[in-house]
Amino acid sequence: MTQTPTPKPLLETLRGTRQATPPLWLMRQAGRYLPEYRALRAEKGGFLDLVNDSEAAAEVTLQPLRRFGFDGSILFSDILVVPNALGQDLWFETGEGPRLAPRINRDTLETLVAAPNRLEPVYGTVRHVKAALDPAVTFLGFAGAPWTVATYMIAGQGSREQAEARRLAYADPALMEAILDRIVTLTIDYLSAQIEAGVDAVQLFDSWAGSLSPEQFERWVIAPTRQIVDAVRARHPDTPIIGFPKGAGGKLVAYAAATGVDAIGLDETVDPVWANKVLPRDLPVQGNLDPLALIAGGETLDRAVDRILAAFADRPHIFNLGHGIQQDTPIAHVEQLVARVRRSQA
C-alpha cells in the first residue's frame, strides 16, 4: 500500500498554494539567542569548529524546531564556506567577524586552488538533519548570492558600504565577472549537492544587494542569480528557490521578473502593502517583520505582525523576519510571535 506523503505547508506555499495560516520560520533561527546553542558552542569551541562538525551542526539546526515548532528548518552553516572552498583561508576574529585571505584582486585570483572537499561537512549536516526532522517540516538549504560573496572575497571581511567591491566592479568589470563566474559555478554544485543530500528548498542570501545602482544591480545581482536559478532548476526542477535581495527596494520588481526565483524574501524596509501591489500576484513572498520589533515585543510586535498578515492575506506568504534574528531577542517574544501568527487566521 502506497503511503500518502506528509503535507509540508511551507513547501506547498513555495509552490504557490496559499495556506489559511502562513507557515513560519526565522532567518538565523538557529543561533546565539538560544541558551542551548550557547552551551553547545562553548563545548565545541569556535564557530567554524561547530559548522564543520556535522553532528553538532545538525543539533544546532534542530534546536529551534524543538523549542518553537517552526514550519521550516534552515541549515546551520555560513555563506563564507563557498569562498573557503574556492581556496581562500577563512577564520573568525573574536568580536570582529569573518576574515578571508588572500584578498581577491587580479594578482591573487589565479593563485587560488579550489578545495570543494571543504564543503563535505555541510552535506553531512544535511543528512543528519534529514534523518531526524519531522516530515511535516520543510528543510531549507542556502548559499550566499554571488555579489554578496564577492564583496567578502574582495575586502577580506564584511563591509557596510562594500566600497572595495563596488570600486572594482566599475574599474575592472572583466575581473568582477571572473570572480562571479567562479562563485556561480561552485554555488550551482553546492546547492545541488545540498538538494541531493536532503533539503527541500534553497535560499540565496544577497545581503548586500542594496548597495548597487540599478544598472550595476542588473549586472551583478540579477544576471548571476539567474544563472544559478536556471542551472539548479535544470538539475532539480521540483526544488523551489527563494531569492532574498536585501535592500533592493524598488529594484525588487525587476529582480522578481528577471531572476526566475520561485519566491522572494522581503527585508524589513519594504512596505508589505506596496510589495503586494507591485509583485506578481501568484509569486510567493517571505517576510518581513523588523527584527527589532521582535525584540520590542508586546503590542508593538502584535501590530507589526498583524499589518504584514493583512497585507499578504490573499497571496502565498511565508512569515519571517526581514533579516536575521538578533542575539538579544527574548525567547518569550519569539513564543508570542508564533502564537500571534498561528491564531491570526486559524
Q: Are strands 285-289 and 317-321 parallel, antiparallel or unpaired?
A: parallel
* Residues comprising the chain, all counted: 346
Tell me the one-letter amino acid at 234.
A
**140/29 Cα distance (integer angstroms):** 12
Other CB atoms within a 10 A radius of the CB of residue 42 amount to 8
Q: Which of 320, 308, 245, 317 is nearest to 274 (CA)?
A: 308
The gap between the terminal CA atoms of the chain, to the nearest Å, is: 33
Tell me how far CA of residue 281 lies from CA of 261, 306, 331, in angstroms. Answer: 14, 20, 35
User: Residue 103's beta-bridge partner residues?
Assistant: none
User: Residue 288's beta-bridge partner residues?
Assistant: 320
Q: Which three cell numbers stand for residue 54?
A: 556535522
Hunting for cell 591573487 — which residue is that? 108
Number of continuous H segments (helices) and E segments (strands) in the chain: 16, 9
Q: Catalytic amino acids?
A: 28, 32, 41, 78, 152
Tell me how far CA of residue 333 lies from CA of 80, 233, 326, in angstroms. Answer: 30, 37, 12
Q: In what order do the strands lie in the sheet with 317-321?
A: 72-74, 138-144, 201-206, 241-245, 263-265, 285-289, 317-321
Q: Can the peptide bond before residue 84 be classed as cis, meaning omega within 30 degrees of 0?
A: no
Other CB atoms within a 10 A radius of the CB of residue 346 amount to 7
**23/295 Cα distance (integer angstroms):** 21
User: Residue 321's beta-bridge partner residues?
Assistant: 289
Q: Which three cell numbers stand for residue 100?
A: 578571508
